[in-house]
């Protein structure tokens, strides 16, 4: 079995009422790898610029993440700036600078093409489709996206939905995508477009899985220290 993630490797500047980061390692592929490697070795594909602190990725390698699909290209790394308010769940994107991502065309190392389990992290749906084409026979494909792509590349995103098994988005993304404020109807709207399951990420409230027959809610464990 192999678990492959393709997504963003970013430098995030995040402001909250309780603290802020400047150019902190982030991005969908990094967060997925850090979490996924708790359970299984992960293969990661992505691109960084010449300014990326590669030491942060070496820490992933020590956890069992195969970095051989990470390219370094001349230019700036992908940067995302956002501001969270006191609810810590909704964010306002202040800036998205694609940098080396603008010209990135993921090319999977041959040994990654046999991946059985594929997670398409939040990147341009055109790139997500390109990756899907390169994986020979995936048993299960999950996909994330966000408001930036829902807004700017809606048609390609809808095309992608026809080819994946699980869409994982948060509540506002599900609403923006479907145009429906009711989260259960929004999840079912997604199911009508291809996926077998919609997973709604609800942060500290847990997650909600909706498939054709079931609604399954998992609350988050009430931790006082993280």
Residue number with CB closer to its own copies (68 or 182)? 182
Cβ at position 83, least distance to its own copies in Å: 12
- Using rule CB under 8 A, residue 53 touches its own copies: no
CB 69 within 8 A of CB 43: yes
Per-residue tokens: 92: 């306002």
Asked if residue 184 binds its own copies (CB under 8 A), the reply is yes
**Can residue 20 be called a binding residue for its own copies (CB under 8 A)?**
no
DSSP H helical segments within 68-215, as ranges? 125-134, 147-152, 154-161, 171-178, 183-191
Q: Using alpha carbons, select from 168, 105, 160, 104 the residue that is nearest to residue 129.
A: 160
Confirm or reject binding of residue 215 to its own copies (CB under 8 A). yes
Q: Of 16 and 72, which CB lies nearer to its own copies in the complex structure?
A: 16
Q: Is residue 93 part of the contact set for its own copies (CB under 8 A)?
A: no
**Per rule CB under 8 A, is residue 85 in the interface with its own copies?**
yes
Q: Is 81 in the site for its own copies (CB under 8 A)?
A: no
Q: Write down the least CB distance from residue 120 to its own copies, Å.
A: 22
Using CB under 8 A, pick the residue from 50, 68, 90, 93 that binds its own copies: 90
The single residue listed with the structure tokens 């030491």 is 55
If one asks whether residue 96 binds its own copies (CB under 8 A), the answer comes out as no
What lies within 8 Å, CB to CB, of 49 at 6+ separation is 72, 73, 74, 75, 76, 77, 78, 99, 100
Contact status, residue 6 vs residue 131, Cβ threshold 8 Å:
yes
* Nearest distance in Å: CB 217, its own copies: 6
Binding region for its own copies (CB under 8 A) out of 23-31, 32-40, 118-126, 167-175: 167-175
Taking alpha carbons only, the member of 210, 208, 205 closest to residue 221 is 205
Contacts of 50 (CB under 8 A, 6+ apart): 72, 73, 74, 75, 76
CB distance 74 to 114 below 8 Å: no
Both tokens assigned to 215: 């609604």
Q: Which of 51, 205, 207, 211 binds its own copies (CB under 8 A)?
A: 205
Stretch that binds its own copies, among 58-66, 73-81, 158-166, 179-187 (CB under 8 A): 179-187
List 147, 159, 165, 207, residue binding its own copies (CB under 8 A): 147
Q: Which residues bind its own copies (CB under 8 A)?
A: 16-18, 85-90, 147, 170-173, 175-176, 179-185, 202, 204-205, 215, 217, 219, 222-226
């Amino acid at each position: 079995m192999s678990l492959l993630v393709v997504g963003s490797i970013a430098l995030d500047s995040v402001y909250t009422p309780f603290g802020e980061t400047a150019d902190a390692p982030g991005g969908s592929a990094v967060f997925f790898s850090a979490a996924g490697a708790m359970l299984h070795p992960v293969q990661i594909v992505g691109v960084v610029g010449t300014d990326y602190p590669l030491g942060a990725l070496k820490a992933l390698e020590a956890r069992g993440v195969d970095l051989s699909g990470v390219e370094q290209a001349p230019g700036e790394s992908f940067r995302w700036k956002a501001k969270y308010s006191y609810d810590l769940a909704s964010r306002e994107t202040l800036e998205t600078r694609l940098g080396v991502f603008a010209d990135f065309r993921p090319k999977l190392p041959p040994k990654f093409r046999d991946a059985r389990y594929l997670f398409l992290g939040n990147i341009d749906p055109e790139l997500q489709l390109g990756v899907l084409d390169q994986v020979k026979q995936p048993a299960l494909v999950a996909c994330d996206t966000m408001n930036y792509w829902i807004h700017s590349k809606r048609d390609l995103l809808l095309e992608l939905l026809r080819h994946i098994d699980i869409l994982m988005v948060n509540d506002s993304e599900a609403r923006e995508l479907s145009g429906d404020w009711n989260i259960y109807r929004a999840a079912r709207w997604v199911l009508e477009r291809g996926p077998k399951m919609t997973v709604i990420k609800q942060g500290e409230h847990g997650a909600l899985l909706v498939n054709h027959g079931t609604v399954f809610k998992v609350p988050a464990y009430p931790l006082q220290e993280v």
